[in-house]
Amino acid sequence: MSDTPLRYGIIGGGFITGFQLKSMLQVRGLTISGITSRRRPETLSEFIKQNDLGPGTIYDSIEEMLPHVDVVAIFGPNFTRVETVERIVNSIQAGTSIKAIICEKPLGRNLQEARKVIELAESVDLQTIYFENQLHMGSIQAVRDQLAPVIETMGPPVLTRSSEEHAGPHSAWFWTPSLQGGGVMSDMGCHCLAVGWYTLTPPGKPVDFLKPVSVQADLSLLKWGQPRWREQLKEKFDVDFSKTPAEDFATGIVTYENPETGQRVKSQFTVSWMYDKQGLRLALDGLGASYAFEMNTLRSPLEIFIGDEAAASLSDAETALEKSTATRGLLAVQPNEPDLYGYNTENEDAIRAIRTGAKPLLDWNYGLQIVRLTMAAYLSAERGQVVDLTDPATNAELETYVPLIQQGRGAEVLYVPEG
């Protein structure tokens, strides 16, 4: 296995790229050779150079960057997924060579898009890696390791409950359902679906070992549909939830079946864009026979108190915690968020897989299954009924299904107050 760093080319210049770069500072075996974005990413390029992550050359196009990299990491907006992969594949067919392609969640806004990008990657025999950071979290891996001997004796967990909540996204396109793919279910529900499925899975089994049986979900617009908050969205992002609303709260249950034993287990999920507390909170708990586990990322070994006068000097609350909503009072501080949330380990897993040719923890076929569960959640909420994933007709319908919220028709299924 070569010790030469893999040359990464990054597509996208937004929040997630900045967060991934902070993670890559702590990871060996890669260099950022290039970056390209819809808007020239001067600040990110300067960060790369100042921190010796690589040349961080800004390229005007994907096609211009590809000959200079080994790996492409797609961190751009959801609505650019298919076009981005098409351009990469066209370049490869024209003679450019790369080793692998990484895609940040979600793989697509719906199953048609997800299948399309997989078909494109397979057409040029590209190794694919799906980035879902929460499965790589140290706390999640520790739970599985610590409980392995218990599970061998008592059996796997039978119930997990996961949640991810913050006060809302950074960018306008995230709030635009036709661009993002929906609301908080599309944005954050994919995380909870994945981590719930994974922590129910017996140690030593593939990530898709448990077979999804059914999905039941409820989606609502609770805070950001109110006139006061709608106006804030219009002023800040030029997004009008009175016309094209998206859900800011989603909850539901997925039922899985163990194909070897027939045992059925459940994973509950809750996500929201209205958690106006310290900042981003990831929470997970699970129950098995005579054992349990619990995680909450707001439990930090470090707390800081900032009084009113001192708060006036703070310009960026997010230096302490992602999506922080406060600059004063008792604040939870996470000294190393990229590591806490699993970004470091997912990058290490990708490098190992690319260098050795081994399968990564997650590939695009897994990402496709997460899109499938997400679409089932939207369909369940639209119809007010459980979606049966063992029914061939339902699975056929999901293949071409585009949620009403994603179509910009959220007002047909979400309550939007007048005013």
Q: What is the pLDDT of residues 276-301, one digit of tens each?
A: 877 889 999 999 999 999 999 988 77
Tell me, what's the pLDDT at 49? 98
Tell me the pLDDT band of 335, cut-offs 50, 70 and 90: confident
For the residues 115-140, what does the mean pLDDT come to?
97
Given a contact cutoff of 8 angstroms between Cβ atoms, the answer to whether 321 and 334 are in contact is: yes
Q: Is the peptide bond before 106 cis (omega within 30 degrees of 0)?
A: yes
Reduced to 3 states, what is the DSSP secondary structure of residue 283?
strand
Which residue's entry shows tokens 């194909």?
A: 259
d(C-alpha 234, C-alpha 212), whole Å:
39
For the residues 56-65, what does the mean pLDDT come to?
98
Does the pLDDT at position 323 exceed 70?
no
Does the pLDDT at position 376 exceed 70?
yes
Tell me, what's the pLDDT at 313? 63
Beta bridge partners of 282: 164
Tell me, what's the pLDDT at 324? 61
Dump pLDDT digits (tens) for 379-389: 999 999 999 99
Structural tokens at position 342: 């699993």
Residue 193's H or E segment, with its range, is helix 190-200
Does the pLDDT at position 88 exceed 60?
yes
Tell me the pLDDT band of 240, cut-offs 50, 70 and 90: very high
Given a contact cutoff of 8 angstroms between Cβ atoms, the answer to whether 70 and 353 are in contact is: no
344 closest CA partner among 140, 133, 100, 175: 133
Structural tokens at position 46: 């300067």
Q: Which of 47-56, 71-80, 259-268, 305-314 has the lowest mean pLDDT?
A: 305-314
Instruction: State how far the alpha carbon of 107 is from the alpha carbons of 80, 89, 102, 129, 187, in Å.
Output: 11, 16, 10, 10, 12
d(C-alpha 228, C-alpha 249), whole Å:
18
Given a contact cutoff of 8 angstroms between Cβ atoms, the answer to whether 176 and 19 are in contact is: no
Given a contact cutoff of 8 angstroms between Cβ atoms, the answer to whether 342 and 134 are in contact is: yes
| Domains of the chain in sequence order | 6-134+344-360 (3.40.50.720), 135-337+370-412 (3.30.360.10)
Tell me, what's the pLDDT at 332? 72
* Percentage above 90 pLDDT, the chain: 87
Reduced to 3 states, what is the DSSP secondary structure of residue 213?
strand
Structural tokens at position 323: 């999506």
What does DSSP say about strands 100-104 and 127-131: parallel, antiparallel, or unpaired?
Answer: parallel
* Percentage above 70 pLDDT, the chain: 95
- In 322-408, the DSSP E strands lie at 329-333, 387-388
Tell me, what's the pLDDT at 318? 56
Tell me, what's the pLDDT at 2? 67
Tell me, what's the pLDDT at 312? 67
Tell me the pLDDT band of 418, cut-offs 50, 70 and 90: confident
87 closest CA partner among 17, 31, 36: 36
Does the pLDDT at position 316 exceed 70?
no
Dump pLDDT digits (tens) for 13-29: 999 999 999 999 999 99
Given a contact cutoff of 8 angstroms between Cβ atoms, the answer to whether 327 and 311 are in contact is: yes
- In 221-263, the DSSP E strands lie at 249-257
Tell me, what's the pLDDT at 314? 59
Reduced to 3 states, what is the DSSP secondary structure of residue 189?
helix
Tell me the pLDDT band of 408, cut-offs 50, 70 and 90: very high
Does the pLDDT at position 121 exceed 90?
yes
Burial (CB count <10 Å: 0-12, 13-18, 19+), residue 2: exposed
Instruction: State how far the alpha carbon of 45 is from the alpha carbons of 59, 88, 262, 316, in Å.
Output: 10, 21, 52, 21
For the residues 219-224, what does the mean pLDDT come to?
98
Tell me, what's the pLDDT at 75? 98
399 closest CA partner among 113, 112, 81: 112
371 closest CA partner among 47, 110, 177: 110
User: Please, which residues have CB within 8 angstroms of residue 122's CB and are 6 or more apart in sequence?
Assistant: none
Tell me the pLDDT band of 241, cut-offs 50, 70 and 90: very high
Given a contact cutoff of 8 angstroms between Cβ atoms, the answer to whether 266 and 256 are in contact is: yes
d(C-alpha 177, C-alpha 194), whole Å:
21
Over the chain, what is the mean pLDDT?
94
Tell me the pLDDT band of 1, cut-offs 50, 70 and 90: low
